[in-house]
Structure 1
Amino acid sequence: MNSHFPANFRSWLNLPLILIATIVLSGCLGEDSSWHGKDIQGLMPELAFELTGTSGETVTASDLDGQIRLLFFGFTSCPDVCPTTLQKLSQAIKAMPPELQSQTQTLFVSVDPQRDTPERLARYVDFFDKRIVGLTGNEPELRELAKRYRTTFGYDEPDADGNYAVSHSSAVYVFDRDGKARLLLRPDLSTDEIRQDLIALARENS
């Protein structure tokens, strides 16, 4: 995953919209000691999308009903945040009780459809965990989905080699079995904190 990205790439991964949303949520809810992530129940819409999977098939949110779902926006050429996040999520899920692992699903949505073909996306997500669902779509579809969850993404100008950076949120949205938005996982959470939240949520409505 060698990339020629701007040195300041890390500094603007957390975009204003998602930061403002997190601050607002914190102010409305306070610190809920029962969760390590931010409780966003009732503050964001339920999970809904119609995107393209890694085999070129259409995948909808209803195809995955009944599972705890973790939604993360990124791209396969991402030099740091995406691989770090996917690795952490994979480790957290694998540390859950076996019966709950199969009920928990990570959805990685690439916001770089120009480079991330279904085939490339499949190779990428399989490297971290073959159970991760890789998804993408055309830019208008992706922007509409990002807007639904109060975030956005953007593209830098390509360099001389055609490489370009993609800005995107580093937050992970967690939805319960009914597709309701429940938690916002911040990058600073540990693998074990994520594991604890996922177990609690899975057992809550199992």
Structure 2
Amino acid sequence: MYKLLLAGVASVLLAGCSDQSWRTTDIDDIMPPLDFTLIDGEGETVHGEDYQGKATLVYFGYTFCPDVCPITLARLGDTIRRLDDETRDNIQVLFISVDPSRDTPEVVKRYADAFGPEFVGLTGNQADIDAVTNRYRIAYEYGEANEDGDYLVTHSSAVFAFDREGQAQFLVRDSHPVSDAEADIKRLASQGG
């Protein structure tokens, strides 16, 4: 009886050791699966399920962003380039514009392409953008236009991570150490296949 109890305790402890949680913010129980209808850089209508099969990082921003967007996307690009070829082939980054009036399909394609081949630019009409931002609780707001018609857009800077089946896994915030984000992205891209 004692040996059976000891074996049971050992198996529970070992199971607990293998059950790793994400170093960043775990969102698998609170965010819905990847789902949207948007327009890609070729002007084609695409859906969330079109991007299943690879680990997917999603970032909401806009191409005229002076600081947060290019910094975040450059960090993601650097992280992806540090992965081995096989792992890198299993990851993609979707850049979803929250500024559809300026971010046409051609503009988001050119912008996303600048960060690496894993990056895909997406846009859409205002209703489609609102549908996907509401789904993932992304707030954004347009600032006042200046005399040239330029304006800033205040928006979230978080990166959402989805597994190959489109299930939400973790969220990377600016406050997370880069090493934690890198570890989680590598682990996510290495899973399954």
| CA displacement 1:132-177 (0-9 Å, x = unmatched) | 1100011111111111011221111211111111111100000001
Let me know the Cα RMSD of the aligned residues: 1.6
Residue 131 of structure 1: how far off its partner (Å): 2.5
Uncovered stretches (5+) of structure 1, i.e. residues with no partner: 1-31
Q: Does 1:91 align with 2:81?
A: no
Structure 2 Cα separation of the partners of residues 191 and 93 of structure 1: 12
- Work out which of the residue numbers 184, 187, 198 in structure 1 matches 2:171: 184
Structure 1 Cα separation of the partners of residues 161 and 118 of structure 2: 16
Paired amino acid for 1:111: V
Q: Does 1:59 align with 2:57?
A: no
Corresponding residue for 2:89?
A: 102
Structure 1 Cα separation of the partners of residues 52 and 191 of structure 2: 16
SS in 2 for 1:128: coil
Corresponding residue for 2:130?
A: 143
Structure 2 Cα separation of the partners of residues 191 and 197 of structure 1: 10
Q: TM-score, normalised by structure 2?
A: 0.85
Structure 2 Cα separation of the partners of residues 138 and 189 of structure 1: 32
Corresponding residue for 1:174?
A: 161
Structure number with larger C-alpha Rg: 2
Corresponding residue for 1:125?
A: 112
Pairing 1:3-42 to 2, within 5 Å after superposition = 34-42=21-29
Structure 2 Cα separation of the partners of residues 59 and 66 of structure 1: 15
Uncovered stretches (5+) of structure 2, i.e. residues with no partner: 1-18
Percent identical pairs in the alignment equals 44
SS in 1 for 2:87: helix
Corresponding residue for 1:113?
A: 100
Paired amino acid for 1:72: Y
SS in 2 for 1:46: coil
Question: Would you identify which runs of 4 or more consecutive aligned residues in structure 1 move more than 6 Å?
Answer: none
Residue 127 of structure 1: how far off its partner (Å): 1.3
Q: Does 1:193 align with 2:177?
A: no
Q: Does 1:74 align with 2:71?
A: no
- Work out which of the residue numbers 138, 148, 156 in structure 2 matches 1:161: 148
SS in 2 for 1:99: helix
Paired amino acid for 2:100: P
